Structure 1
């Protein structure tokens, strides 16, 4: 099993992932898009190989960012021509000998309503989600020895406390369930995958799915913010089924109960 890993995008997810991998004995290199960010990360962890590079349809992938395993964590909003840039990146990675690619996508590729697992037909409802579907297809068709696509639900964790943008607002569909996953679990699943090299797609979502009304009102109450109001309790959304990581990888979610997690954050335990 290789210990050399490249992370394209040392951001909110990529940087703590890199630190966890290094702490676990992996050799890690990664990319940022500015000199200032590079200097900031190197000041925090001087032994990390941090390179300044931005994916683009015309940008050559530096040899310094090549490793047998590559993890792409770049979200669509970070690039103006996301699909073309990612298409070029994936193609170059394959051409230069990357053996395994892990791509972080999103459950937004499903759209629709009802329970969605990894076999659910994709129905992207936004241009951004449609672009993610294109990149996923590119990853699957590139010819890597092993590939994985992770589809996390809404991401929570350090700096991403839910409810602040909904505080005091009047909203509909309070009966929709919440689909969220903690940063710690996304990293945990990646760590588990690296020990079990087989291709596949995995949804990521905390097994607990409270309603929007219950979850966001409690989130705001615990943060001492004005509560959101819900004009109706309609449930016309989707629920992400994400137990495949448990049945196939033997992974157990660290943040299982979202309401309990809110209480732990408020108490300073998270």
Structure 2
């Protein structure tokens, strides 16, 4: 198996920055892109070499050629909310793909989303990604196909569900909620620490050309999830909506990821909240 020594991360935000820091700690040389130069110092402090890269939708920035001088590229650029979201995001990724083709990069991790699935009122697996309900899912599914079919590099797609952890805690959201909508729907959530560990395992094990769901195996009902947060924080639980459970739903099945990577989730149940509210970082 080819040894990976360097990783470029396109998109060093809430997930990409701590991912880069983690990879540096694991001994990788890491380059990270941001659209805001004021973040350069923060990246440098994490041991990441910063680059100013934009996709508008064409690729531009300061020395993008050097940014792509790595063994692996992690693409962590979600679709922008705009009327032409499908076209725009696919143009962004097409521009990025052309840059990768002329670089030394031969392996790509593409961060996708479980929005590629419709609500089928059952467990959904990787092959169920057809006819997404939302434009963001349509955009991502189209990009997945293009990247997976590209022969000059090999891509593994990670479909993350709702991200939680640190400042994305249910306690923080609870304080802004008027009601808990779709209270009887199962929650599909994954902790940021698991996201980072899964990306690392894909790179470490050299698992390429794959598509994986990535979601904690526990799926509490939304009312249970926020009731736990209310108990933890001392806040009142807002009124519940949709208690009849008649809204369409989906339960993300990550068993394939667990089997192929041999992965065990660090936070298997989103109800495993910190005992002390002070433990929740903000």
Decide: shared fold, TM above 0.5.
yes
Which one is further off, 69-78 or 243-252?
A: 69-78
Distance in 2 (CA, whole Å) between partners of 1:144 and 1:264 is 49
2:210 aligns with 200
Verify: 1:266 aligned to 2:266, yes or no: no
**Paired residues, what number?**
267
> By how many angstroms is 1:159 displaced?
1.2
2:111 aligns with 104
What secondary structure is seen at the aligned counterpart in 2 of 1:256?
A: coil
Q: 5 Å matches for 1:70-149?
A: 70-77=73-80, 81-113=88-120, 114-149=122-157
What secondary structure is seen at the aligned counterpart in 2 of 1:86?
A: helix
Q: 1:219 to 1:144 in 2, by over 3 A?
A: farther
1:53 aligns with 53
Q: Is the CA contact (8 Å cut-off) linking 1:90 and 1:138 kept in structure 2? A: no
1:173 aligns with 182
Q: Is the CA contact (8 Å cut-off) linking 1:217 and 1:228 kept in structure 2? A: no
1:223 aligns with 233
Verify: 1:26 aligned to 2:35, yes or no: no
Distance in 1 (CA, whole Å) between partners of 2:224 and 2:57 is 44
Q: CA RMSD in A?
A: 2.2
- Gapped runs of 5+ residues in structure 1? none
2:191 aligns with 182
Distance in 2 (CA, whole Å) between partners of 1:247 and 1:55 is 35
Q: Is the CA contact (8 Å cut-off) linking 2:72 and 2:106 kept in structure 1? A: yes
What secondary structure is seen at the aligned counterpart in 2 of 1:102?
A: strand
Q: Is the CA contact (8 Å cut-off) linking 2:4 and 2:203 kept in structure 1? A: no
